[in-house]
Amino acid sequence: MPKINIYLPDELAEAVKKAGVPVSAVCQRALEQAVRRVTAIRETALGAPDLDDLTARLTQFTSRAREVVKLAVEQARALGAAEVGTEHLLGGMLAEGGNLALQVLGALEIDPEEVRRRLDRLGLDAAATAGAAETELTFGGSAAAALEMTVTEATSLGHNYVGCEHLLLGLIAEPDGAAGRILRELGAEHRLTRHAVSAALAGYVHLRAQTRSAAAPSPALPTGAASALSAAVREELRPVLLRLERLEERLGPADET
């Protein structure tokens, strides 16, 4: 049986040893689940994204995440695009309007309306050069890769569902798509956004306990809770931002040429 090396932080490795966790068995189960999810995404991306069929295929996606993908397909068709791109996935996220990913952007002080304006400009440029719309759309290479990374992000965070917050991370991590470029230009650095997602989920669990809501993992927030969640996320991110600032000060300004 082939071996795959797994590297752990020192503290976690020590804790695993003390707890006697069966690392091989745990990793095998986690990898089997990840392979099934990624395979399902690849099969979906390679086929024509029929709206009804998408819901059946993306079983691990939350209802909001599936709605975002549907809206992305609809936007691509409306714009006469040759394929569904990352910009359409990001546009679908904005159009859905009630997902946790938008709260994460707000906590990072990224205005969703500015994202929308940049997407609108991109859409106009694409419409000006697009040919006749195809009857059946497929996901473009960058969009398919972003969806795979979305599943990977959910798995690496230990979540048994795939939500819009994971899609946001997948879009940022994908290097070639328009959506990732826009998000990174606006300050959505991947590691920082990942911290923000973790903080937002922790804050949401707290808010849900307070409001005794029985909603799904990435629902719309109760009235008045969005600002509280954003404040909680910013507070969680404060130590990270301070460390980054100290590192920048230590490195000093880049030499000008």
Instruction: Report in angstroms the alpha-carbon separations of 106 from 55, 153, 165.
Output: 28, 20, 12
Looking at residue 158, the DSSP 8-state letter turns out to be T
Whether the per-residue pLDDT at 72 is higher than 90: the answer is yes
d(CA 33, CA 137): 28
d(CA 88, CA 72): 5
d(CA 26, CA 141): 32
Is residue 171, in this structure, part of any structural domain at all?
yes
Which pLDDT belongs to residue 25? 65
Which pLDDT belongs to residue 89? 96
Which pLDDT belongs to residue 5? 67
Q: Please write the tens of the pLDDT for every residue from 46-60.
A: 555 565 566 667 778
Q: Please write the tens of the pLDDT for every residue from 107-119.
A: 888 999 999 999 9
Whether the per-residue pLDDT at 45 is higher than 80: the answer is no
CATH number of the domain that residue 124 is part of: 1.10.1780.10
Q: Which two tokens stand for residue 56?
A: 């059946």
Q: Which residue has the higher pLDDT, 96 or 255?
A: 96
Beta bridge partners of 162: 61
Q: Please write the tens of the pLDDT for every residue from 138-164.
A: 888 899 899 989 988 998 888 889 999
Is residue 165, in this structure, part of any structural domain at all?
yes
Q: Please write the tens of the pLDDT for every residue from 179-210.
A: 999 999 999 999 889 988 888 887 655 445 45
Which pLDDT belongs to residue 215? 47
If one counts the domains in the chain, the total is 1
Is residue 132, in this structure, part of any structural domain at all?
yes
Is residue 19, in this structure, part of any structural domain at all?
no
Is residue 3, in this structure, part of any structural domain at all?
no
Is residue 208, in this structure, part of any structural domain at all?
no
Please name the residue ranges forming H helices in the chain.
10-19, 23-46, 51-57, 63-78, 86-96, 100-107, 112-129, 141-156, 164-173, 178-185, 190-211, 225-251
Q: Which domain holds residue 172?
A: 25-203
Q: Which two tokens stand for residue 221?
A: 């927030």
Q: Compute the average pLDDT of residues 62-76.
A: 92
* Nearest residue to 181 via CA among 121, 138, 226, 221: 121
Is residue 166, in this structure, part of any structural domain at all?
yes
In sequence order, what are the residues at sequence separation of 6 or more whose Cβ sits closer than 8 angstroms to the Cβ of residue 159? Answer: 166, 217
Average of per-residue pLDDT values in the chain: 75
Beta bridge partners of 81: none
Q: Which two tokens stand for residue 200?
A: 């937002």
Asked if 137 and 73 touch (Cβ cutoff 8 Å), the reply is yes
Is residue 256, in this structure, part of any structural domain at all?
no
